[in-house]
Amino acid sequence: MTLAPESTGLLATLPGRMYTDPGVFAEEQRRIFESLWFCAVRAADLARPGAFRTVQVGRESVLVTRNHRGGFGAFLNVCRHRGARLCTEESGAAGRALRCPYHAWTYDLDGRLTAAPNLRRMPGVDPGERGLLPVRLREWLGYVWVCLAEEPPSFEETVIAAVTERLGDPAAVARYAVDGLALGRRIRYDVAANWKLIVENFMECYHCATIHPELTEVLPEFADGFAVQYFVGHGAAFADEVTGFTVDGGDGFAPLAGLAAEQDRRYYAVTVRPQVFLNLVPDHVIVHRMFPMAADRTVVDCDWLYAPDVVASGADLDRSVELFHRVNAQDFAACERTQPAMDSRAYRAGGVLVPTEHHIGEFHRWVTGRLRPQGHPEPGHRPPSPPERPRTGPAAAGALPDGGTSASP
């Protein structure tokens, strides 16, 4: 990464091929998404024993189950007999067992092989050695996170630290009680763009005044185009006349119980690399999960989470959901406009980052470091903590980006 001439204050970006080359994408799948903690499913989506979900993590299909003890299991979605995909549906109910549709090898919800045709006639086969291959998992913020690495990085030092270091207070995210919230709305976006373009978009607000008119009405500091990702604990303030995080700035719902006074009328955002964006406002939480499918395709699931009584009451969520749905649509359209140019000879050497985007350069260094066979950071490596934001004086001219700060494992 090199600086352009000092008089311009511009920083070079990644070259275009990093967003289009299938070989680069395959290495990203292996060295990033299959090596770090990956937010797979919302725990409440597996409410009953026997429920399962399949999730694409890097190059692997991962099967997440709820067992009859109420816990979770995660396994590679591959039958140990001849390699058939065990579950082909995205979700379903398996009852008490998972049965391969090819040769009927059958596994319990903990992945143990329990039955197979003629198994008793094969004394040399030890069922204990033919169970589904397990995947490490953790449950946090109401989601099941998985890691395919043989030696996963510390969950506390990567995922949890990414959130607590950004918010500046280990108790800050706990006050939102995210794991106790209810799903009000989920929208899936199929974006024809490389996953890195989406991360970069969420990291900066240089574009906010141009494409996010509704958001900048609610959060006026965003119109300045400056990002404040590296200021610990800063949340973007609502406009004086705004009463809620809604598409028209009108009333939302009662603040979540337990929030501190400084969390009211503020928007906070965090990016947990490689694929989660967490957005916190007084009356709800928005969680984006990215699923990179190809060099030029990324699926994004966006969850809007509310207090359980709000969802149970059948309250109209449309004005609340519509604000960030528009932001998502505007952002993803911009990413899709950018993706084709990554193949252009005009972008062969890349583009430039203006000073308000320079922090994206750290993300680029993180990506290239992860891909470097020798000398790339260990899975548990983290960059130095961001500096404390001054506690006095007006907020620095800047805008927390609509997807937030980026803190890497």
The rounded distance, in Å, linking the Cα atoms of 140 and 179 is 7
With respect to residue 58, please indicate whether it lies within any of the assigned structural domains. yes
- Please state the domain count of the chain: 2
- The per-residue pLDDT for 375 is 46
CB neighbour list of residue 335: distance below 8 Å, 6 or more residues apart = 191, 193, 197, 198, 201
Q: How far is CA 18 from CA 24, 292, 403, 407, in A?
A: 6, 14, 22, 21
Q: Are residues 133 and 177 in the same domain?
A: no
The CATH number for 279's domain is 3.90.380.10
- The per-residue pLDDT for 8 is 57
- The per-residue pLDDT for 43 is 98
The rounded distance, in Å, linking the Cα atoms of 219 and 280 is 13
Q: Are residues 29 and 52 in the same domain?
A: no
3: Cα separation from own chain's centroid: 30
Q: Are residues 106 and 164 in the same domain?
A: no
- The per-residue pLDDT for 123 is 81
Q: Are residues 128 and 167 in the same domain?
A: no
Q: Are residues 206 and 313 in the same domain?
A: yes
Q: What are phi and psi of 149, to 5 degrees?
A: -65, 145
With respect to residue 131, please indicate whether it lies within any of the assigned structural domains. yes
Give me the tens of pLDDT residue by residue for the chain, a chain 409 residues long.
Answer: 334 444 358 999 999 999 999 999 999 999 999 999 999 999 999 999 999 999 999 999 999 999 999 999 999 999 999 999 999 999 999 988 999 999 999 999 999 999 999 888 788 777 778 999 999 999 999 999 999 999 999 999 999 999 999 999 889 999 999 999 999 999 999 999 999 999 999 999 999 999 999 999 999 999 888 754 546 788 999 999 999 999 999 999 999 999 999 899 999 999 999 999 999 999 999 999 999 999 999 999 999 999 999 999 999 999 999 999 999 999 999 999 999 999 999 999 999 999 888 889 999 999 999 998 654 443 333 443 444 443 333 233 233 233 333 333 3
Q: Are strands 266-272 and 405-407 parallel, antiparallel or unpaired?
A: parallel
**Conformational region of residue 70, where left means phi above 0, alpha means psi within -120 to 50, and beta covers everything else:** left
Q: Are residues 403 and 261 in the same domain?
A: yes
With respect to residue 236, please indicate whether it lies within any of the assigned structural domains. yes
- The per-residue pLDDT for 234 is 86
CB neighbour list of residue 339: distance below 8 Å, 6 or more residues apart = 19, 192, 193, 194, 197, 296
Q: Are residues 166 and 296 in the same domain?
A: yes
With respect to residue 355, please indicate whether it lies within any of the assigned structural domains. yes
Q: Which of 140, 164, 188 is the last residue of a domain?
A: 140
Q: Are residues 15 and 118 in the same domain?
A: no
The CATH number for 90's domain is 2.102.10.10
- The per-residue pLDDT for 127 is 76
Q: Which of 92, 112, 140 is the last residue of a domain?
A: 140
Q: Are residues 269 and 299 in the same domain?
A: yes
Q: Are residues 246 and 341 in the same domain?
A: yes
Element (H, E) at 216: helix 213-218
Q: How many residues does the chain have?
A: 409
With respect to residue 347, please indicate whether it lies within any of the assigned structural domains. yes
- The per-residue pLDDT for 104 is 95
- The per-residue pLDDT for 403 is 36
Q: Are residues 233 and 260 in the same domain?
A: yes
The rounded distance, in Å, linking the Cα atoms of 184 and 104 is 38
With respect to residue 169, please indicate whether it lies within any of the assigned structural domains. yes
Q: Which amino acid is at 13?
A: T
Q: Are residues 315 and 255 in the same domain?
A: yes
Q: Give the relative orientation of helices 318-338 and 195-203 as an angle to the nearest 10 degrees.
A: 120
With respect to residue 244, please indicate whether it lies within any of the assigned structural domains. yes
With respect to residue 149, please indicate whether it lies within any of the assigned structural domains. no
Q: Can you give the residue range of the structural domain that contains 329?
A: 11-33+155-407
Q: Which of 140, 175, 190 is the last residue of a domain?
A: 140
* Under 8 Å between Cβ of 326 and 188: no
The rounded distance, in Å, linking the Cα atoms of 3 and 13 is 10
pTM value is: 0.88
The edge-to-edge listing of strands for the beta sheet with 38-42 is 38-42, 143-147, 136-140
